[in-house]
Structure 1
């Protein structure tokens, strides 16, 4: 038995054998995608499988070098290793895979002109771009690393044995490649100087090169990481719609709500196969209906992953908790900017964290879980080739994707979403788009993008009256007496304002009534506690973060004016279950000038004024149909696809593939246009200076618990960068959050 190591606790042979085992399972799970692409690009499935297996059996061949084996021996003995003496093993593997791939092409014809197998191996640990940023040490190396005695021969013998088990022969590999510089070979292929990749792309086409690269590298990732973590492979949800209904019964019992069976709206959602657009008011059971649809379609697709995408971290956190109750915590992933703790390219492999820790984080981050809840941004970055885009894309392909609160995006982000929908729908993904309010123009836009899109509305609740709506022609600060009386009388009261500053001021003013203050400028540690207890709070003062996907219920709402769809969302937190005997009210106050700057998705300064006037003309006990009509009236004549931000986003999404030559990774901050959200007010994540000592003692990933976002202008004036960390001079209170120092003529973000 050889003693060559792939990991401190795993021999090379063990790792490759495990990788081969998981490769077979990954191939079975991805069979539908492979067959779809084989038809689209006209290649035999078996020919692709040979290329794929080639990447798996040779991807770690470079670990048979002396530097790597010395590093492993040091780790096993608990000794320190000088990483300056290491040499990236995947770079060594690259040369051998490239030669073998060319041999395979000569023997059986190629599936692409670009040696995608070799590039997938070269980039399976570090980001790969045309200037090879992450291989600087290897560029400066005076010579190539030597192989340990017998190591190369054993690696090739094992690879040949595995190929024979499949009834194939391992393509020819030249052992003389060990003498050559692999960095020069890779640089000669991907560098701009000779533009070889560009020339080969002209033959293959960008779509073909990208699709096959994602498939090859994605399956390699599956095999490699599962083999490293030695975990059980489960690809898709094993749950029936009937089992889901049992979970719903238990949830209603826990919340002391009578269960009266599935609504007809939910049944219709669960009976739909293919793309679906669902419009239903808050509290109508859209989430449960979406899961019925997802399970039906995942089963129809022979097992598919479920992606649930939302506009904000807060809503993602809430839905993640709900889905964990249904599918089990181990089966549900969560990923957004604050959950993204996996360290990308910052350290050598095997340094620090265990593979078990890393694998767990990766599963969340790369849509590897059976069900993943994420902000929509995590999905959109696939189009920019950013982060773990290959794994995210291979898992989003041929999956069922739920886009909740689809109305909540401006023209730029919606343009990216439309581009993403087109891309993934063409690759077998099925979409469910959901909203409580959906203007006709938006429905027409989606209908034109998704072929065969079904539209289901919750008709039974259209005439249901939830609350009495009244407009009040003054600022919400003048409502202090009315708010205080409502709380003191025992009512559950929700106050929603449009800026963090106003939210904090009102929380101070009502301190004696002990309100829960809820907005975006809390450190993650405190924000998580607030969200956990929000449903039990009787008095909440919040910003827009309370609008979507929160299962909370209040008696009265006092709110600043906002766009009509946002007001409908806020009102959905009142009398959530539509008790006709309940005295539920919605008071709408004039918006401040600052709110007009924040709420300007249409570049229309009169939007909030028009929204207030329409509600003023429709006061009284409004039903859901009334709210839909109000939304249509305010947005009449507006077509988001005609706006400049929307058109720009569509163009940027397309142009990105040219810049990345279809397959290369995004350099951090390379293009300022490649962002998933645009704002007139740039923000930056900082740590309040009061946490200075604590933050310095924490590892980088745990510092995120103490980060808040502040306007960029504020950081420029009050930032205190220390030790490479963005500290900032702002007060912090666990009840009020981060408190900015006053500044003239500045608008705060919510």
Structure 2
């Protein structure tokens, strides 16, 4: 008689999948061994005790697939037949019944649970595909279904296989009876609204320990399941040493005709420092490379940690991502932000080398992301357990740390405290960092070293001039610079002003660059920036763009922002006669940068106005300190509110439940006075609703617009949100009604 074959996937038998997941588990726990040991010392469990619980989740995570509905679905798929998915039953629920009993038996066998009285193993398995919360919304269909018939033979084979794997590790497998349970009812006893989870949780003395341990358990299960399913091996950490990186940088500099023979003193000091670092150095001093050398040496000391590089904008993240791929190789660097999937859509590459899932969960050896992707883990959204566990075993670089609003900064501070306790090492970088921020970060990070690049303090990169007039009155001067062949940069504080100047200077063939373009249009402009003779832009040029101009006309902004903008002029410090021309801030600028009317822009303007034109790097630092003297961001209501959001959110979610509220304002990682939502300009309606644009490519046509405006001008067709607006590939989006002069603030 031919034995029955039980399937985990159409192309994998149950045994093949579990054995593949076990192999992936062995490599994963080996890579995360130091983290397991760190958390064990921190929270009082042994490495072996954790490994037993972790292995239990892996060998039993799919045991629930041995039910009749699931096996019928697999047979239908293998035979190319249709299957009514409404007849399926979520296998995680069935798996829960077995691993819950396995976890209880293991606790009895080992003399105690892994973490208090909570069956974390069972909860990790229950949530390894679907979101879990006390409402059990993910399993609504199962709440109305009868308990599924069990394939008893399959269950017995699964338990025998699990016992064999435990034995191969030298562990004793706990006894688990085969029985037909009512899975939804079983789960409801623990975490439903009538469940006892809350009572057990409330008795736990260390909720942070619960969160960290659960995150690691579930993350390792995800690794094992995904890598076991794909059949691929992925390097856990960056496999390049500092000498190799030096050669890569040498080649890159040679291609850009930049002299590079050795690390500068600042870079060498960063490279030699172990632990947390605050690095302050002028633009163009090689902070990125300094950070990478620091990262590699700390990764080596931590024995194969990951590298996470965080930036404030998608544009800067894209730029650093491409640089890191040059250094570390394709397939080894992930990119995570809202439009990351489109960045390299036209390139031919092995699809297994680049997956959105791996990128978003920081699984690649190195990941470049916007800071938002890192911070959302604190709100328990997305694959937050993977982000938590991977970030806890990483070196994290946060670039342009000065550029965040009080809300985001409050979230960053809480993340620094949380992850540094788990063993994460941080480097915070900026060209301009006021003393009050250095003090704040120093209090938030243990044993942090502040490293300053002092070799350039006496150098003067550019000449500064200040004018008592608005920038739109400088059209003639801008024309003169461009006609004389100077690469000219114009920076204003809002999109509407950027578009206005673009129209006035259209005869000079300028490039207009800001945040209100579709993805494809923005990407096309980024490719043209290097060759632009006249670039008219907003604040998007301030951070981490490797561009170089001869002269800049700019509206006044806070001093650190102005210095960042100035870093795009004479970037290599080899030009003579490069200039920065500062003009009066507009009323709109004050609403953007100084909503509390503290006089920030007035102080900034007056300070530059009364300073000599030959400002050295030391002079610029002094201006920043003078303008920000007396500022205490920790007294800001916004900062305080953000700082307690993680605690409040995780308290409501009892640390381990997934967040089902994706639109609550308090769960935003950025402070936005007006909520911005992505919509498609109405003029693309016919194109989008035709068959020419598949659903996966619709985001290429999106632009973020103010929520209040979208409510007035939206048009929904086939469940797609369109919005009436003016859109032009040269100047971007603007309001359809010119009377809406609030656009000058919003855009």
TM norm. shorter chain > 0.5: yes
Deviation of 1:721 after TM superposition, in Å, equals: 2.1
Q: Is 1:674 equivalent to 2:676 in the alignment?
A: no
Match of 2:562 among 551, 555, 567: 567
Q: How many residues align?
A: 733
SS of the equivalent of 2:462 reads strand
Q: Paired residue for 1:609?
A: 602
Q: Is 1:748 equivalent to 2:741 in the alignment?
A: no
Task: Give runs of aligned pairs for residues 52-451 of structure 1, distance below 5 A.
Answer: 52-109=54-111, 110-112=113-115, 113-141=117-145, 143-148=146-151, 150-176=153-179, 178=180, 180-339=181-340, 360-451=355-446
SS of the equivalent of 1:465 reads coil
Match of 2:645 among 644, 649, 652: 652
Q: Matches of 2:80 and 2:152 in 1, distance apart?
A: 24
Q: Matches of 2:303 and 2:194 in 1, distance apart?
A: 46
Q: Paired residue for 1:637?
A: 630
Deviation of 1:383 after TM superposition, in Å, equals: 1.0
SS of the equivalent of 1:426 reads helix
- Please say if residues 384 and 656 of structure 1, whose CA atoms lie closer than 8 Å, have aligned partners that are also in contact: yes
* Structure 1 unaligned spans of 5+: 343-354
Q: Matches of 1:216 and 1:228 in 2, distance apart?
A: 18
Q: Matches of 1:686 and 1:297 in 2, distance apart?
A: 43
- Please say if residues 462 and 569 of structure 2, whose CA atoms lie closer than 8 Å, have aligned partners that are also in contact: yes
Deviation of 1:241 after TM superposition, in Å, equals: 1.2
Q: Matches of 2:196 and 2:670 in 1, distance apart?
A: 33
Deviation of 1:649 after TM superposition, in Å, equals: 1.2
- Please say if residues 188 and 194 of structure 2, whose CA atoms lie closer than 8 Å, have aligned partners that are also in contact: no
SS of the equivalent of 2:512 reads strand
Q: TM-score, normalised by structure 2?
A: 0.95
Q: Matches of 2:193 and 2:665 in 1, distance apart?
A: 22
Moved more, 691-700 or 487-496: 691-700
Q: Matches of 1:739 and 1:268 in 2, distance apart?
A: 47
Q: Paired residue for 1:483?
A: 478
- Please say if residues 63 and 69 of structure 1, whose CA atoms lie closer than 8 Å, have aligned partners that are also in contact: yes
- Please say if residues 270 and 291 of structure 2, whose CA atoms lie closer than 8 Å, have aligned partners that are also in contact: yes
- Please say if residues 128 and 218 of structure 2, whose CA atoms lie closer than 8 Å, have aligned partners that are also in contact: yes
Q: Matches of 1:41 and 1:712 in 2, distance apart?
A: 45
Deviation of 1:463 after TM superposition, in Å, equals: 1.2
Q: Paired residue for 2:621?
A: 628
Cα deviation digits, residues 556-614 of structure 1 (max 9, x gap): 001111111000000000000111x522011111111111111127x235211221111
149 and 356 in structure 1: CA distance in 2 versus 1, 3 angstrom threshold: farther
Deviation of 1:703 after TM superposition, in Å, equals: 1.3
Q: Paired residue for 2:347?
A: none
- Please say if residues 590 and 597 of structure 2, whose CA atoms lie closer than 8 Å, have aligned partners that are also in contact: no
- Please say if residues 229 and 359 of structure 1, whose CA atoms lie closer than 8 Å, have aligned partners that are also in contact: no
Q: Matches of 1:256 and 1:83 in 2, distance apart?
A: 60
- Please say if residues 71 and 81 of structure 1, whose CA atoms lie closer than 8 Å, have aligned partners that are also in contact: yes
Q: Matches of 1:680 and 1:196 in 2, distance apart?
A: 38
Q: Matches of 2:663 and 2:485 in 1, distance apart?
A: 54
Deviation of 1:94 after TM superposition, in Å, equals: 0.6
Deviation of 1:511 after TM superposition, in Å, equals: 2.1
- Please say if residues 305 and 371 of structure 1, whose CA atoms lie closer than 8 Å, have aligned partners that are also in contact: yes
After TM superposition, which residue ranges in structure 1, 4 or more long, deviate above 6 angstroms? 355-359
Deviation of 1:667 after TM superposition, in Å, equals: 0.8
- Please say if residues 412 and 677 of structure 1, whose CA atoms lie closer than 8 Å, have aligned partners that are also in contact: yes
Q: Matches of 2:401 and 2:354 in 1, distance apart?
A: 31
Q: Matches of 2:682 and 2:268 in 1, distance apart?
A: 52
181 and 149 in structure 1: CA distance in 2 versus 1, 3 angstrom threshold: closer
- Please say if residues 2 and 13 of structure 1, whose CA atoms lie closer than 8 Å, have aligned partners that are also in contact: no
Deviation of 1:540 after TM superposition, in Å, equals: 0.9
Cα deviation digits, residues 251-272 of structure 1 (max 9, x gap): 1111122224211110111010
Deviation of 1:208 after TM superposition, in Å, equals: 1.7
Q: TM-score, normalised by structure 1?
A: 0.95
Deviation of 1:111 after TM superposition, in Å, equals: 1.6
414 and 4 in structure 1: CA distance in 2 versus 1, 3 angstrom threshold: same
200 and 654 in structure 1: CA distance in 2 versus 1, 3 angstrom threshold: closer
SS of the equivalent of 1:6 reads strand
8 and 723 in structure 1: CA distance in 2 versus 1, 3 angstrom threshold: same
- Please say if residues 118 and 200 of structure 2, whose CA atoms lie closer than 8 Å, have aligned partners that are also in contact: no
SS of the equivalent of 2:461 reads strand
